Structure 1
């Protein structure tokens, strides 16, 4: 967290102007590539039934999309640099380099806001098949925005960008800069979950893979641009920033490659790669990404070695500029790809079930079907595997240096990850969007089963022991970031007993009895959000109650017991009310599916209520047992501490107590 000048003299020798000219050239290159490819392929107008909105809308939407993507990447990358690549001051206030990056992010957020707001007009006109000039009237625009999902998504994105503009103007501390970074990443989601990937067959795989792809691209492209700007303004800690970004870039490239392959396989068959415009664009993008990945990683490795040897950052800045230009051309190609109809979208006519769920169902769910009918969830299934792998890697690191780690904690964490995988990727996860009873099984797993096991695993304690501590004068690293998260105001608020209980218990009633669940059933992104909420609400409730990790709020055991007992009646009452309801929750969606094995929707809902009532008691028993065991162990530890103190000091406390009684007795006799 030092604020001293960069001790690397070679870095300070690197001079250069800002990167605005480079970004201008790159943006023009991306626009030329995108417009040219759209003109060659015909764009979405090639799809039968879609009216031609005119050249201004057809090409304008592509230009605006390239500009918005570039602005979002610069904003996200600059906040990444300020939050994680360069250190703040020891007081937690941003250093000069971090503040400069935040200011750059603010300017990029302005551009993101303008182009996102402009996209509302163009996307609405494109969806309506009308020239954009006809939608300039507010009443006409409102009608089309209300009828089409993509303009709404761009409107939400523009609101997030405007929030970033304000935040970047007022933020001065590292903690709030980190919050702004995650807000900027969230700004990518609305457009991603409402595009072409979110409709048609296999839209669950297409949308999930696109989320990974956009996140990887934003971190890679934006991070490199921010690193280049940092070097051009001769910022401190260039070697540290380049080393950290090189690791992020490698992971981002792998994520982009894997998610891109999945997304392409969903949209185009291998036989169509060489025979369709969409397939040729996919191949071109793959080739560019491969070139960028290999070239970028090699040049960064050589440049970082040169920086450490005191050779200066000139080579890094020159090669990074070339890499940025190729990246922006790739952004233009991706924009053209988004405007080109996939072969599967033209030829396929998905059934109602596949259109609503993204996949077909093989028949009535049986015990065997739930065990074997797997459909891997790219978001939560991947999270389960990655979390289990990271935890085991941490345990292995402790074992190699001779430190012990309780086997029970390891089993709890691994079982929690396995339960997360089963709840989202097995037959339970496959059937949960189509039947209320199966949805309730998944809900109980995610909100009550998985969090209990995860908090018993003590992941924060393991990470703090496994991660290397930054030196006294060294910049903070992952261990310090984790400590800051645990003690942050956000974590303190979430783990407040009242807030945690309301989130955990109140979500049952707020989701199902307010109409939110009925609306959420129609959208894949809403299913992703519900799962995230179930996991988060369960984790922040059980963490201060039975968690192994130190909580921001240390509660006495009686208060922990009170939290558990306070939540029990609400769970039971929720299940009972579901079993006695006379109206069907989410009836239009379930009727639209028309599953032959769910003829009585009310009976299926009552089955879900019974599942909520019955399975809700099992985790409570586990929690009560764990809490009582922890309470007994805490008393044993306190007794052993008193015994050790008495072994050192003798019976001084007892002697002092007897002396006090004797003095009181003698005083009474004198009176």
Structure 2
């Protein structure tokens, strides 16, 4: 097909040109691995990126835009399977050539070479990363052929995205000073570029199957995804470039020039995407024949630009960055060695409000969460429906607080101080959910998002499916939510999970998600507005709240009065001039005292809801009595009178 051919050709030509200009394939001065490895690694990585794009883009399109009732759905899964197979082979080739590149061992197929390669793939972090990617891609290849259930494909898509995690944890991201920020930026960049490029490529391949009004419908859905992808790619790309370039003057270096080329290509893609959205999609539904030829020409040009960006990206991975990727011989403190980050200023109280270390993942999540919520409210108002203002205020406030916790002073100091870590924990699991739950996002989504009628699933369908699933009915049960909320405290802090969240950035992000979800489920079971399978009566809600928070307070007291240091080889080895045990006891005091403040707010809210429920029930009974003329009361009095007459007889 013309589209895939143009994409591949443009990518290869751009890669060759960028490697030649940036010097990414020049011979090594010592122990040169040879041209096969020097040129083969970026070429193999290019096909890794293209394979990942086709795999993730096709899966996202199948899950989000296509109908399982039509042949288009199966063909998209075939594209995903073929792309996953390309990713499998390309990942294996990249791992092999990377071994040759970093070790200088000549490429051959002897027993000694095989043993060394096996050791590299199983014991060295870089080798394990490519082995993991290869195995996950192979699993996705099989699953794309075997799984055709719409719901199950969500988990296949998650697995496909997981194949990119090892890639995000290596390359330039692994050595920069802003290690966590670099991993997050690169991971977001890879995932959203894949969905953007792969989605368009899949539409081109499915062109003959999208007849009549199907093409503008699918394009409109893809266009929404592409717009989100464009925003995320632009922001994550800027973050990655800023970490690796450093100053504006470094844009004159070969690495900087290649980054400028990528930026120019991205701007061109944004312009073509806007043109596609505004000038073609709407006209296609009215007069497809008149715009078909210019539209597909635009798509081919867009794929060529995407190919150029992919080729330059593959070359950038082999080009020296202006900012050194290792700290060199500069003396570092124990805290800097442990965290891999430069030391922040001394934690005076006001620093928690003035220091920032943005976590791009949560900044974007909060930004999109606010935008889509407000857009839903605006849509309701335009059609004449009302939505309480307080819900919008609480939702926006909750997401702003979440952004502050994950990117502000608490995020800066939680790696160094247990008290800061516990403060962030309390905010995530108690304060943020108390603001988010009254926002009723599920109710808003059910009312504001247009339902699909062609068998595909959009935001409304997926949200309602998740809310009404068996799994959701289990974890949303008030007792289960309370056990998860309180029990996870002990499991987390007194198990290897705590260490994992300190040592691994993925573990840190998991911690944020876990605390946020468990807190949300608990608060939802007490004061939630969104539909749940079962709610406790109000008296039992208060009992559950008080019992759970007593357990929570006991945990805080245990930490506050403990004499053993949690994670002693981390907080106790910082050498930052603080008493780690005293700081841990302060953290216990935070869990015991400050963590109870939201409890009072929850108890008051439950009491107010109880009072309003009783008032509503009284009004309902009064209206019923007015409609029936107190028939129930008269019937009851007549029954009493009949019993009295019977007793007299």
TM-score, normalised via structure 1 length: 0.86
Q: Deviations over 1:107-150 (max 9, x none)?
A: 32233334334444444554555456589867645643455434
Provide the rounded CA distance (Å) in 1 between the counterparts of 2:272 and 2:476. Answer: 46
1:516 corresponds in structure 2 to 497
The alpha carbon displacement at 1:243 in A equals: 1.6
2:559 and 2:587 in contact (8 A); partners too: yes
Counting only pairs closer than 5 Å after superposition, residues 259-658 of structure 1 correspond to structure 2 as: 259-299=236-276, 301-312=278-289, 313-345=292-324, 349=328, 351-352=332-333, 353=335, 356-357=338-339, 359-399=341-381, 402-465=384-447, 467-470=448-451, 477-558=458-539, 560-590=541-571, 593-596=574-577, 598=578, 600-658=579-637
Provide the rounded CA distance (Å) in 2 between the counterparts of 1:444 and 1:517. Answer: 15
2:195 corresponds in structure 1 to 219
Matched, 1:98 2:77: no
1:152 corresponds in structure 2 to 128
The alpha carbon displacement at 1:267 in A equals: 0.8
The alpha carbon displacement at 1:101 in A equals: 1.3
Q: 1:28 to 1:212 in 2, by over 3 A?
A: same
Could you say what secondary structure the match of 2:255 adopts? helix
Q: Deviations over 1:90-112 (max 9, x none)?
A: xxx54322232123223322333
Provide the rounded CA distance (Å) in 2 between the counterparts of 1:299 and 1:135. Answer: 55
Counting only pairs closer than 5 Å after superposition, residues 173-252 of structure 1 correspond to structure 2 as: 173-235=149-211, 237-252=214-229
The alpha carbon displacement at 1:315 in A equals: 3.8
Provide the rounded CA distance (Å) in 1 between the counterparts of 2:210 and 2:547. Answer: 58
Provide the rounded CA distance (Å) in 1 between the counterparts of 2:409 and 2:637. Answer: 69
Could you say what secondary structure the match of 1:174 adopts? coil
Q: 1:347 to 1:453 in 2, by over 3 A?
A: closer
Structure 1: gaps (5+ residues): 1-18
Provide the rounded CA distance (Å) in 1 between the counterparts of 2:472 and 2:222. Answer: 27
Counting only pairs closer than 5 Å after superposition, residues 78-97 of structure 1 correspond to structure 2 as: 78-86=58-66, 88=67, 94-97=69-72
How much is the aligned-residue C-alpha RMSD, in angstroms? 3.3
TM-score, normalised via structure 2 length: 0.88
The alpha carbon displacement at 1:203 in A equals: 2.5
Q: 1:155 to 1:553 in 2, by over 3 A?
A: farther
Q: Deviations over 1:515-534 (max 9, x none)?
A: 22223312333222211221
Does 71-80 or 383-392 show the bigger shift?
383-392
Q: 1:657 to 1:234 in 2, by over 3 A?
A: same
Q: 1:496 to 1:444 in 2, by over 3 A?
A: same
Q: 1:150 to 1:553 in 2, by over 3 A?
A: farther
Q: 1:446 to 1:244 in 2, by over 3 A?
A: same
1:109 corresponds in structure 2 to 84
Provide the rounded CA distance (Å) in 1 between the counterparts of 2:560 and 2:100. Answer: 47
1:495 and 1:540 in contact (8 A); partners too: yes
2:176 and 2:243 in contact (8 A); partners too: no
Q: Deviations over 1:588-612 (max 9, x none)?
A: 333554313x2x2222222212222
The alpha carbon displacement at 1:24 in A equals: 5.1
Provide the rounded CA distance (Å) in 2 between the counterparts of 1:483 and 1:474. Answer: 15
Q: 1:638 to 1:197 in 2, by over 3 A?
A: same
The alpha carbon displacement at 1:652 in A equals: 1.8
Instruction: Figure out how many residues of one structure are paired with residues of the other and give that number.
Output: 642
Provide the rounded CA distance (Å) in 1 between the counterparts of 2:409 and 2:23. Answer: 41
2:57 and 2:194 in contact (8 A); partners too: yes
The alpha carbon displacement at 1:74 in A equals: 0.9
Q: Select the residue among 148, 153, 157 that pairs with 1:172.
A: 148
